[in-house]
Structure 1
Amino acid sequence: MTRRGRGSTGPGRPSNLPSDGYEAPAPVREGPSGGLVVDFHGDDNRRASYDLGTLPMPGWHPLLAEALALRIGSSGDIRTLSGADGSWRVVGSLTRFLAKTFPSPTVPGDLTRAHVDAFHARPDVSPRTRYDDMCELRLQFADRHLDGRLPADAWDAFNRRLKRVDSEPAGGYSHGELDRLTAAARADTARIVRRIRAGEQLVHQLHHGPGELDRRSRERAEVLAAMAATGEVPWPDPGRSVSQYSWRGELASQLFLTWRDMAPLMVLLALVTERNGETLKELPAKHRVLEDRAVELVVVKRRHGTKKWFETVTWEIGPKERELHTPGGLYLLLLELTARSRGFCGSSSAVCFWRNGFKQQVAGRDEHWAPFELKLRHGSSMKLSEWAATRPKPVLADPPPTPKTKKEQVRKPTDRPTEEPVPTGPTPLKVTFNRIKTSVDARRTKQLGGHLPSSAKSNTAQVLFKNYLKPDEATREWAEEVMTEALADAEQAARDAHAAAVERRGEPTVIPDAESPQQLQDAGLSPQTARELAGGDLDTAWTACEDHDHHPETGSACGDSFLACFHCGNCLVTRTHLPRLLGLLNGLGMLRQRMSEDAWWRRYGPAWVAVRYDILSKFTPEEVDKVRRQPLPDALLDLVEAPWELP
């Protein structure tokens, strides 16, 4: 058992302690130039040092250095290098701005509310940047160790309530766009695999069967074998009229991955593993194969909170011929393609390849590197959209929507003209890791029937909905279709329940044009029933009951809920009941907004269907509208439900 990592502590195995005389490094130290320096060591082992001596306003340096150290130090909330760079950028922006003000606050005690207000209202930066800068400075100065270091009115200006400025999350791809992108990434990755495996096969033949190679293949194999042994890519002969940069890149690509291979490979990884770009850039080479069926590795998921960055995942390997379709198979394929470069650069990262070191002034084995060990920002060199647009068969976006008619194109006087013209021809697809992540999350959610707790994979259900599903137009359309179908199914179930009850108990009697006893008697009622109905003696909650003592099914006294009257042959409805029925519908509509659709349809759906379609349809629309325009009575739902049980 090692003394590091999981299993290193436990009963009888105390945790590691520093050696005697150990002193923790100071959060703020003095740099070689005499300025104050704040060091950063992130949870991903990336490091940086920030020298305040390079900034103006030296009177501010002690306070800013202490605030920055509390923010990005070992106990601070910033744990990534990009986050620390952002905090440092805001410190530089503040000092450079204050240096240009008049009168300039040379020390923190001279800062006023007017200075803070002017910094917040800078006209040369975007509203989002102003909002982020103010939030960052408020967090830096809010530490309890800095209480009282700023004037009260200045701190109050930093601590103001800010209007949040959110950038609109990007939606995902349509089904057609996602299918075309997947096919393109898989096809290009397959070509990369065939190219490198052909080079490896040539080197293998040189060592084990050189006699089977012709002269030209043997010469090429010898060059590749030398590259495989030393990691050095030769330069072309001086007499060749070719671009040295392109020639070396083409030669190196026969044995190593290069920058141009990264775009399709990383896109396919994002599509198959359903992980974001940051996690894929930091995939480790260390893994464990489980019975040749799956591969287990520890991935990094940033912004999951302190000490929640690392997650153990298990990816299916699948058969060899399906390695481009399964996450485990594609991961092992990535390790195969990058094995030689990893050996030359000595990295533990899965993403290692060869780059032409002319611009970076490196040569030989140093041209093999793991770019994302230093900074994740190196991913901008992959140029995903450029790859999609410049491949032999470009990946195209869906055509724009059908143009509106002339009537729909009429603008209001206050409308501004569109600055960017709507493209009319096919346009290349814009490819980003965010849109890929949104698309695959939406696809997984649809496959699981929209159940968010089951669909959440690398995020919580709340984050999945807010950042990935809500901004995706295709997901919204799918959700609307699902809801429409679900409501239609619920309504049909209520109709079926009402029809089944009517078949057992009989259909209510609706007499829309009779009110007096004689009219009711002419409509088919017995004289006694007509007199009692006209006098209101048979009324219940919303209708009347012809024979309460003899239930149509049981023959005994009725004990059903008043909501069941609408499915009973003893039910009588006249024009006098119309206001109460409309009041009931209003009450049911209010309940529908306060409880789930499923529960509402189960509880009130059959009664609503009976009133809406079987009873009100017997009255004329004009008569119903006339009653609806008058004040309606209370819904009287407390007669069928205990008030404390109402939602």
Structure 2
Amino acid sequence: MTRRGRGSTGPGRPSSLPPNDYEAPAPVRKGVGGSLVVDFHGDDGRRATYEVGELPLPGWHALLAEALALRIGPSGGIRTLAGARGSWRALGSWARFLERTFPSPDVPEELTRAHVDAFHTRADASPRTRYSDMLEMRLQFEDSHLEGRLPAEAWDAFNRRLPRPRSVAIGGYSSGELDRLTAAARADTSRIVRRIRAGEQLVRQLAEDAGQVEPQRRELAQTLAATGEVPLLEFGLDLRQRRAELASHLFLTWRDMAPLMALLALATERNAETLKELPAKHRTLEDRAVELVVVKRRRGAKKWFETVTWEIGPKERELHTPGGLYLLLLELTARSREICGSSLAFCIWRNGIKNRNEHFAPFETALNDGGQIAMSQWAATRSKPVLADPPPAAKTKKNHAEKPNGESDEEPARTGPTPLKVTFNKIKTSVEARRTKQLGGHLPSSAKSNTAQTLFTNYLEPDETTREWAEEVITEALADAEQAAWDAHATAVGRRGEPTVIPDAESPEQLEDAGLPAQTARDLADGALDTAWTACEDYEHHPETGAPCGDSFLACFHCGNCLVTRTHLPKLLGLLNGLGTLRERMSEDAWWKRYGPAWAAVRHDILSKFTPAEVDKVRQQPLPDALLDLVEAPWEQP
């Protein structure tokens, strides 16, 4: 099979096939001494070998090896080396736990429900570890190829509902913290760029005109440019530090990784795993953008790789755009990459011993940096530390003496500035929240490297600043909607007149004293003028048209013919309750458009004419039905 890549197949060009004598490797093979071995080949090229024969309980080895091979093999759900290590760890925990039980199940047929229950509730592991181990072993044993290999009662114990342990939500940074972190990362990255470019300039001067190079720097430039190796100098206590300072003239070091990766995370809005595996291979689109294929893990089979396009921007803005920063990274790591031959963007110099490869790609074999990228330590120890926002003012204990004017004698407790805790998770949460705010909170448009559901659940919901922003947006939107409804009511009142509210009159005499004609007062007191929730003084003559009224009963609240007395209070409160129920079943926009003007008129223009005591007294009594079926056809009601 020599044909590879795009264009190797097509009409008349069949797919390449393996030789006739090709046999796929067995999922489980025998190693040294007959031990069962399972090999893992990840989608990212990383490999591992796991010897099941090293585990206790030999009677379980065949089942455990087959289960592990199905889980981490080509058709399994585990595609990363970290995932394979997790599966192997859970398998080892399972075997070692069963060995300690009494009686110990020497073969799978002896496994009981009690063994599974004890594994799930063991005291030597945290709740999160017990949950993940139980879930992993269930996934390993549930493959159809292993059906029936465990006793029914044991498998029934595995199939229990596993409630996920509660985790502490990881919020993001405030706007101030994010701005300070971005400024610090950009400033330190700029210093790194100036340092390495100055070293490159020194090497170019040496090649063009060695006489212009200072003698004390000429030997260093010749050594670095010729071999890429840092001289070992004389021995001393500060040997490693001095060698690192010399290497930093031309090469990226571990010390540079924290600000550079923090700025990459802020500019590209990608997680740490994707940034660590950035490829050096890319395509430049008209000097405006770069196109490259990045890795996005945990997205399911065949969905790992994604083609992204990043803006380059002008040269003076290379620290502000993702494409410009990516090209700058390639520039800073070019010499180390040429020496170590890696295809990844991150290639650095490490301070090793003699005859050791000091130029390497730190994330080529594993994504774990071993604690070398200490981002919080970088933020706290730089010349101008990145500080967190001050906590809410704490209160000191009250003094024994109390002020005569009754004021509190408490004073805010003074606390010093706290360095900002910098993690990739918090950066990712912050940039996701920032993008969502910039797009007005529209989740489908805000989702970039995740689904809208994942964006909300994992990034927006735990972030306190996002919740506060969302509450402000909702409050402003509701205020705007209420103001629009009130404006619509005021406009209608301006055309038709304002309703007449008589809060202190019920008898015909009282109504007549309030200014109503005698016949109207008697009819109103007798209920002859009542409509759905109010009364109408003259439905035969509409205030605008002069014709018989044909408007909805909801329009009565914007009409000069509307009459309201104390007897109408129960109906009005029942209407408000009905409108509140509809609000829970409808969208806010539809509710405000259909019922908002009437709701605003009742709340602010009618109920305000009654005393709060009168309204509360009526609320304590059973309220009548809202009678909304009088204004909406049943098939039109939400």
TM-score bracket for the superposition, by shorter chain length: over 0.9
The CA deviation at 1:306 is 1.3
1:600 to 591, 599, 612: 591
Q: Is the 8 A contact 1:234 1:248 kept in 2?
A: yes
The Cα of 1:268 is off from its aligned counterpart by 0.5
Q: 1:217-616 counterparts in 2 under 5 A?
A: 217-226=217-226, 230-238=227-235, 241-358=236-353, 363=355, 366-378=357-369, 380-404=371-395, 424-616=415-607
CA RMSD, Structure 1 to Structure 2 (Å) = 1.7
State the distance in 2 between where 1:615 and 1:12 align.
82
- CA 584–406 in structure 1, closer or farther in 2 if over 3 Å, else same: farther
Match of 1:178 in 2: 178
Q: Which secondary structure does the structure 1 equivalent of 2:310 belong to?
A: strand
Q: Which stretch shows the higher mean deviation, 472-481 or 635-644?
A: 635-644
Give the Å deviation of 1:401.
Answer: 1.2
Give 1:17 shift. 2.3
For 2:292 and 2:538, the matched residues in 1 are separated by: 74
Match of 2:72 in 1: 72
In the aligned structure 1, how far is the partner of 2:93 from the partner of 2:351?
36
Partner SS, residue 333 of structure 2? helix
d(CA) in 2 for partners of 1:188, 1:96: 49
Paired residues of 1:296 and 1:315 also in contact (CA < 8 A): yes
- Report deviation, 1:169: 2.8
SS in structure 2 of the partner of residue 573 of structure 1: strand
User: Which residues of 2 match residues 89-168 of structure 1 at below 5 A?
Assistant: 89-168=89-168
Q: Which amino acid aligns with 2:87?
A: S
Give secondary structure in 2 for the equivalent of 1:49: strand
Instruction: In structure 2, list runs of 5 or more residues that go unmatched.
Output: 399-412
| Post-superposition offset of 1:94 | 0.6
User: What does residue 403 of structure 2 align with?
Assistant: none
What are structure 1's unaligned runs of at least 5 residues?
408-421
Q: Aligned AA for 2:119?
A: F
Q: Decide which moves more: 129-138 or 159-168.
A: 159-168
Offset at 1:319? 0.7
CA deviation after TM superposition for structure 1 residue 423, in Å: 9.7
Is the deviation greater in 327-336 or in 616-625?
A: 616-625
- Partner SS, residue 381 of structure 1: coil
Q: Percent identity between the aligned chains?
A: 78
Calculate the TM-score normalised by the size of structure 1: 0.94
Q: Distance in 2 between matches of 1:310 and 1:379?
A: 26
1:620 maps to which of 608, 611, 614: 611
Q: Deviations over 1:221-279 (max 9, x none)?
A: 223323xxx232220135xx452222221111111111111111100000000100000
Structure-2 separation of matches of 1:427 and 1:12: 68
TM-superposed deviation, 1:5: 4.0
Match status 1:209 vs 2:209: yes
**Letter of the 2:545 counterpart:** T
Could you say which residue in structure 2 is the equivalent of 1:416?
none
SS at match of 1:70: helix
Q: Secondary structure at the match of 1:198?
A: helix
Contact 1:263 1:387 survives alignment (8 Å): yes
Q: 1:33 to 1:384 in 2, by over 3 A?
A: farther
Q: Does structure 1 conserve the Cα–Cα contact (< 8 Å) formed by 2:223 and 2:229?
A: no
SS in 2 for 1:376: coil
Calculate the TM-score normalised by the size of structure 2. Answer: 0.95
For residue 100 of structure 1, report the CA deviation from its aligned partner.
1.0
Q: Could you tell me which amino acid in structure 2 is paired with residue 251 of structure 1?
A: L
Q: Write the letter of the residue equivalent to 1:231.
A: G
Kindly state the Cα deviation for residue 21 of structure 1 after the two structures are TM-superposed.
1.7
- Native 8 Å contact 2:270 2:449 kept in 1: yes
Number of the residue aligned with 2:187: 187
Alignment match, 1:641:
632
Q: What amino acid does structure 2 have at the position aligned with 1:376? A: L
Distance (Å, rounded) in 1 between the aligned partners of 2:302 and 2:309? 20
CA distance in 1, matches of 2:13, 2:430: 47
Q: Distance in 1 between matches of 2:86 and 2:472?
A: 43
Q: What whole-Å deviation, never above 9, does each CA across 1:22-49 have from its counterpart, x for those lacking one?
A: 1111111111232111111111111111
Shift of 1:89: 0.2
Number of residue pairs matched? 623
2:27 partner amino acid: P
The answer as to whether partners of 1:30 and 1:36 remain within 8 angstroms in 2 is yes
Cα distance between partner residues in 1 of 2:12 and 2:176: 59
State the match for 1:417 in structure 2.
none
| DSSP 3-state at the match of 1:534 | helix
- The answer to whether the 8 Å contact 1:98/1:115 transfers is yes
Aligned to 2:409: none
> Is 1:17 matched with 2:13?
no
Shift of 1:404: 4.4
Q: Give the distance between the partners of 2:425 and 2:10, measured in 1 at CA.
A: 41
2:342 partner amino acid: S
Residue number in structure 2 paired with 1:54: 54
Q: Compute the displacement of 1:529 (Å).
A: 1.9
Paired amino acid for 1:467: N
TM-superposed deviation, 1:521: 2.1
Partner of 1:418: none
Cα deviations by residue, 1:341-369 (Å, 9 ceiling, x for unpaired): 111111110011111223xxx735x2111
1:148-186 deviation digits (Å, cap 9, x = unpaired): 111111111111112221322310011111111111111
The one-letter code sitting in structure 2 at the alignment partner of 1:234 is P
Cα deviations across residues 488-509 of structure 1 (Å, max 9, x unaligned)? 1111111111111100110011
Residue aligned with 1:40, SS: strand
Deviations 1:437-484 (A, max 9, x none): 000111111111111111111111111111001111111111111111
Contact kept in structure 2, 1:400 and 1:423, CA below 8 Å: no
CA deviation after TM superposition for structure 1 residue 582, in Å: 0.4
C-alpha contact 1:33 1:53 (8 A) present in aligned 2: no
Query: In structure 2, what residue type is equivalent to 1:64?
Result: L
Q: In the TM superposition, what whole-angstrom CA distance separates every residue of 1:289-338 from its partner, at most 9, and x where no partner exists?
A: 00000000011111111111111100000111111100000000000111
CA contact (8 A) 2:258 2:375 kept: yes
Task: Report the AA paired with residue 511 of structure 1.
Answer: I
Q: Is the 8 A contact 2:542 2:549 kept in 1?
A: yes
Counterpart residue type for residue 452 of structure 1: L
Please report how far the alpha carbon of residue 623 of structure 1 lies from its aligned counterpart in structure 2 after TM superposition: 1.4
In the alignment, residue 288 of structure 1 is paired with which amino acid? R
